[in-house]
Amino acid sequence: MAYAAFRSIGAYVPQKILTNEDLAEMVDTSDEWITKRTGIKERHIASDDEYTSDLGVKAARQAIERSGIALEDIDMVVCATISPDYFCMPSTATIISTKLGLKNVTAFDISAACTGFVYILSIAKAFIESGMKKNVLIIGAEKLSAITDYTDRGTCILFGDGAGAAVISATDNKDEAIVDVHTGADGEYADLLMTPNGGSGSAHDALEEEAGVFMQMKGNETFKVAVRTLTKDVKEILEHNNIASESIEHFVPHQANYRIIKAVGDALKMTEEQVVLTVHKYGNTSGASIPMAINDIYEAGELKAGEMMLLDAFGGGLTWGSALVPFSPLK
């Protein structure tokens, strides 16, 4: 049987920075409030002519270069995004594939909001373990600034742009393999976090008013469900695989809010050294946040071959997920 190994990571962050002070000039907020309630100090914003696929391509090129796998051997590209270049079609994954020069690949997007990267990891694992694909490029890419309402202080302070990518490939060596991926969803909570306009569920007059495809969130309720769901899910994946939290080298949570990360980390008795934090400098980049965070520890020289990562994420849908992933580079 083939196993799926996490070979490499790459990321890209747009140049422009939007600070809390900048936001305080746009809406009724302050650096003090944002820092205290979220831990975010700044986020990066793509330029007008930089699309989600452009961010994804830059992250993907880096991940492929670092993987030791030839570009032409990539046989599937999956992109997790809620801010695709074009709603409906073509998929951002197909645009990324073409920009990379890939031919004859299977390419598609998935919509699982901030849990997107965990979902595409499970898809890569399943395709590889079934023998259908050998080298899968997975990308979390978001230009959330395109779907953020910069008059709504409850959401605009949270989100940023960026992309992260990883190459997952087949191996016979079980020690290198992704141990487990959990994914879940519950549409009962759909109204907590949504883009109500722009789809077939929109009121027609909302479309006519060009209400835009902006995110809306019931932040405080989302926060409570997030802490509860994540703590339960992460405990379950550790117990199910008989792995103690002390043996996790890197706990890489979705970077939505420092207080959520701290609450879940504390419930799992994770030390500060184990918890990977990037929310202060990137804000919430939805499906891109986990691979961007993994890339940060990789580039800091802190992610070594064989080390175990525990990923967890939570987002619109609602969706959630967790994964136990050893870092298994080929070179």
Catalytic annotation, residues: 114, 254, 284
10 Å Cβ neighbour count for 50?
17
Please identify which residue in 96, 256, 276, 293 interacts with ligand UT7, judged by CB under 6 A.
256
Amino acid at residue number 12:
Y
Q: Closest CB to ligand UT7 belongs to which residue?
A: 219
- The answer to whether the peptide bond before residue 291 is cis (omega within 30 degrees of 0) is no
Closer by beta carbon to ligand UT7, 291 or else 329: 291
Question: Among 163, 164, 161, 165, which residue's Cα sits nearest to residue 46?
Answer: 161
Please identify which residue in 196, 212, 219, 326 interacts with ligand UT7, judged by CB under 6 A.
219
Determine if 114 is a binding residue for ligand UT7 (CB under 6 A): yes
Please identify which residue in 107, 260, 264, 276 interacts with ligand UT7, judged by CB under 6 A.
260
Please identify which residue in 135, 222, 229, 231 interacts with ligand UT7, judged by CB under 6 A.
222
291 contacts: CB under 8 Å, gap ≥ 6: 9, 10, 11, 59, 117, 139, 140, 163, 164, 165, 166
Specify the stretch interacting with ligand UT7 by CB under 6 A; choose among 71-79, 167-175, 252-260, 292-300. Answer: 252-260
Closer by beta carbon to ligand UT7, 33 or else 150: 33
According to DSSP, residue 148 is labeled -
Helix (H, G, I), strand (E, B) or coil at 11: strand
Q: Tell me the C-alpha distance between 177 and 4, whole Å.
A: 5
Determine if 314 is a binding residue for ligand UT7 (CB under 6 A): yes
Residues that bind ligand UT7 (CB under 6 A): 29, 33, 37-38, 114, 153-154, 157, 193, 219-220, 222-223, 226, 256-257, 260, 284, 314-315
